[in-house]
Structure 1
Amino acid sequence: MASRKDFIDLVAPIAVKLRLEGSPIFPSVRISQALLETGGKINAWNNLVGYKVGNGVLTPYWRGDRVSARTWEFINGQNVTNVIGDFRAYASIEDGFRDQDLLFQATRYAAVRSAGSPQAQTTALQQSGYATDPAYTSKLNAIIVTEGLTFFDEEVIRMLEKLQEQIAALNERVQSLEEQTALTVIPAWAKPGIDAAVKAGLIDTPEKGSYDFYRLITVLHRKGII
C-alpha cells in the first residue's frame, strides 16, 4: 500500500513542473488539495482534485471520459454523505492538473490566480466556491504545515534562480567567444576586399570583424561582386 510520502513523491514533481511553466497554483497548495480530495490514494481516473464533469465542455486535456463515484457535500449547513458525483477522468495526473488550470482561468477564480502566498490561495479557493466544505481552507493549510509542503514552493524559486544563473553564465560565454573570434587587425590578404567594400559604402567599421567576416568579403571581392 502506498504511503503519503509515496503520494507526495509522485505528485510533487508534476506540481513543481507546472508552476515553473506558469501555473498560478503553488505546488504546496496543489499537493495539499490532492491529498485532501483523495486521502492520499491515486484513483484510477487520475482526477486528484475532485474536478466534476460540470458543463461537459471538452478541453485539450479532458476528452469526455467520466466516472461516477460516491462523495459528500456540505449542503444547507449539513454534511450529506453518499452523494453520487460525476467526475472527469484523465489519461494522466498531469492532464488532470492542466485541465484544472484551465478552470482557474475563469473570472470567479481571479483571486486564486493573483494570490501571493499559499495561505492566500487556499483562502481564495474556498471563497471562490471551489468546494462546499466550510473548513476547506483550514484543512488545506493544516496539510501544508504537517507535510512541510512549502518546501516545494521554495524549490521552484531555487530552480528559477539556478536557471537564471545558467543563462547569465551562458551569455558571458557567448560574449567571450565573440570577443575571441573578433580580429583587431585587418589581415593583409583581406585588405583589398575591405578597401573595396568601404569605398562602395557597404561597411563603415572594417577594423571590427571576425575571421569569417574577412574571408567572406575577400571571396566577394575576388569574384568581382564588390
Structure 2
Amino acid sequence: MLAYTRKWGECMATRQAFIELVVPIAVKLRLENSPIFPSVRIAQAILETGGTVNAWNNLVGYKVGNGVLTPYWQGDRVSALTWEIINGTRYDNVPSDFRAYPTIVAGFRDQDLLFQSSRYVTVRNAKSPGEQTQALQNSGYATDTAYASKLNSLIQSNGLTRYDEEVIKMLEQLQAQIAALQTRVSALEGQASLKEVPAWAKGAVDAAVKAGLIDTPNDGSYDFYRLLTVLHRKGLI
C-alpha cells in the first residue's frame, strides 16, 4: 500500500521505509530525554497508522482531547472515523477529532508533553519496552485491550529494540567523552597552580628570585614556570 505525505514529499512504499523515516526522530528525542523508548515509539507509529505517514503528521493517534494549546499544537485538527472498545464491545466508525501538526517531530514532542501528566507516571518510569507498552495500555492511552501485545509483537517482528541499544551506546560514548573532558579539565586546573616548583624549572626560578623578578616561587602555574625556563635558557634572567 502506498501512502503519500505532502510534508515529506515521498511515498512510503514499504514498512521498512516507514521505520527508517521514524527511527532518527525517535532516537533523537530519546537522547533529548524523551521518556519513550525508540522501539515503543516506532511500534506505536506503525500500529496507529498502519505504517503510513498521514498528511496531518499525527503518527500516534493523539486526539484533540481537552483542546488546550501547546508549543507544538496550535489547534489544527482532522476529523476521521476510528474504532473503540467500550465495556468490552467494539464499535466501528466512531467519529473522532485528531490533532494535526506541521511536522512529525511536533506530533511526537506534543505526545511527550502529554506523558508528563500524573496519569502516565508508569509510562515515564518504565525500565523496559515491554513494561512501557503495558503501562500505555494500563494508563488508558488506547481502548484496545490488546494494545500492549500488539505493540510488543511489532517490536519483536521488526527487531526494533536494536534502536534502544543504539541509544544506550550513544549515551555511553557521550559519557566517556564527558569523563575524558573532565579529566582534561582537572589536569589543566592542576597545572594552573602547582604546589611546588618543578625540578626542571628550579634553576630558572632561582635565577629569577636572585634577580628580584619574583618573590613567591612556590605559587606559579605550569605555563609560568615554562616561561621562566625559556627566558633563563636564553640568558634573559
Normalising by the smaller structure, the TM-score range is: 0.7 to 0.9
Distance 1:205 1:79 in 2: 83
Which residue matches 2:114?
Answer: 103
Counterparts of 1:128-207 in structure 2, within 5 Å, are 128-174=139-185, 184=198, 185=201, 187=204, 191=209, 192-195=212-215, 198=216, 205-206=218-219
- State the shift of 1:63 in Å: 1.1
Which residue matches 2:124?
Answer: 113
Matched-pair contact (CA < 8 Å) for 2:15–2:51: yes
Change in CA separation of 1:76 and 1:170 when aligned onto 2, cut-off 3 Å: same
Secondary structure class of the residue paired with 1:74: strand
Alignment of 1:43 onto 2:54: yes
Change in CA separation of 1:213 and 1:36 when aligned onto 2, cut-off 3 Å: farther
Change in CA separation of 1:72 and 1:172 when aligned onto 2, cut-off 3 Å: same
Q: Which digits, 9 at most, give the CA deviation of each residue in 1:112-157, with x for residues without a partner?
A: 1111111111111111110000110110000000001110111111
Code of the residue aligned with 1:120 in structure 2: it is: E
Which residue matches 1:218?
Answer: none
Structure 2: 5+ residue stretches without partners: 3-11, 228-237
Change in CA separation of 1:131 and 1:190 when aligned onto 2, cut-off 3 Å: farther
Distance 2:102 2:115 in 1: 20
Q: 2:136 aligns with which of 106, 125, 129?
A: 125
Distance 1:37 1:128 in 2: 17
- State the shift of 1:211 in Å: 2.9
- State the shift of 1:64 in Å: 1.0
Give RMSD over aligned pairs: 2.5
The count of corresponding residues between Structure 1 and Structure 2 is 207
Code of the residue aligned with 1:99 in structure 2: it is: D
Distance 1:212 1:21 in 2: 42
Distance 1:52 1:88 in 2: 6
Which residue matches 2:234?
Answer: none
TM-score for the superposition, normalised by structure 1: 0.82
Alignment of 1:8 onto 2:28: no
Alignment of 1:211 onto 2:231: no
Identical-pair percentage: 63
Which residue matches 1:219?
Answer: none
Distance 2:106 2:72 in 1: 5
- State the shift of 1:180 in Å: 7.4
Structure 1: 5+ residue stretches without partners: 199-203, 216-226
Matched-pair contact (CA < 8 Å) for 1:194–1:214: no
Distance 2:225 2:62 in 1: 60
